[in-house]
Amino acid sequence: MQDLKIAMVQSFQHWEDIDANLKMFGEKIRSISEPVDIIVLPEMFSTGFSMNPASLYETMDGKAVNWMKAMASESKAVIAGSLIIKENENYYNRLVWIRPDGSYNTYDKRHLFSMAGEEKVFAPGSEKLIVVVNGWKICPMVCYDLRFPVWIRNVENYDLLLFVANWPDKRIEHWRKLLQARAIENQCFVVGVNRVGLDGNEIPYTGHSMFVNSQGEIQAEIIDEEKIEIINLNDESLNITRKYMPFLNDRDGFRFE
């Protein structure tokens, strides 16, 4: 595999203000001064983690998705982040993965956060997504999915787990330790991008966007600040881990229902 360069964009989010967020993230993306392969934005990057989909939803040909296409083309990088999408009369917390040529894939958040009533207004996804960049097999997920290892289990032999999140400070140690656990048990690299600041419900976020290697060791971490961190993934250590500790060969076989 070729090296993979990822920009983790840790940022404040304007509450339920799509235009302001697109303007802000556009400026941040344009500030990236070196070529990267993937630019990762937080969960619900265009609105914040809102339970008001009826007034904030877009379609796949809406403003935010078209903005993502324009940013991917301009930056010559994949743009990844989740937003509120309406489709077939359902609302989804949908991660959109858009390439510079305008092609895209989507992943609908499977595990909806019941403590915030997310399951009452959004429909869950039912299929995982695997995408390939520079030969790396990547499995993108959304926030609360992190707590469910059966769903995440590496049965596809992916190389990188990628999470976009609005994970509050109150449970930030869970976030940090679970990212490390998912890396160890799935023998893969893990990248998690979170937000900072207060949301419209006065919930504080302190970031801790992270890159974790396949041994569960933190290679990069952005704590409580707005920052774009560029990380470079090389498969040498991943291959060594899998060669000398081939635990995935002994994984359980199962079918998700």
Which of 28, 69, 109, 128 is flagged as catalytic?
109
Which of 28, 43, 128, 188 is flagged as catalytic?
43
> What is the distance between the terminal CA atoms of the chain, rounded to a whole angstrom?
33
Q: How far is CA 46 from the centre of its chain?
A: 14
Q: Is 109 a catalytic residue?
A: yes
14's CB contacts (< 8 A; 6+ apart) are: 20, 21, 24, 48
Q: Is 227 a catalytic residue?
A: no
For 56-74, the three-class secondary structure string (H helix, E strand, C coil) is HCECCCCHHHHHHHHHHHH
Q: Is 221 a catalytic residue?
A: no
- List beta partners, residue 8: 40, 229
- Quick one: tokens of 160? 């990188």
- Quick one: tokens of 68? 């993502």
Query: Looking at this protein, which amino acid is placed at residue 113?
Result: F
Specify the 3-state DSSP secondary structure of 107.
Answer: strand
Which helix (H) or strand (E) is 30 found in, with range? helix 18-30
Contact at 8 Å (CB) between 143 and 113? yes
Tell me the C-alpha to C-alpha distance, in Å, between residue 25 and each of 8, 13, 192.
12, 9, 18
Active site residues: 43, 109, 143
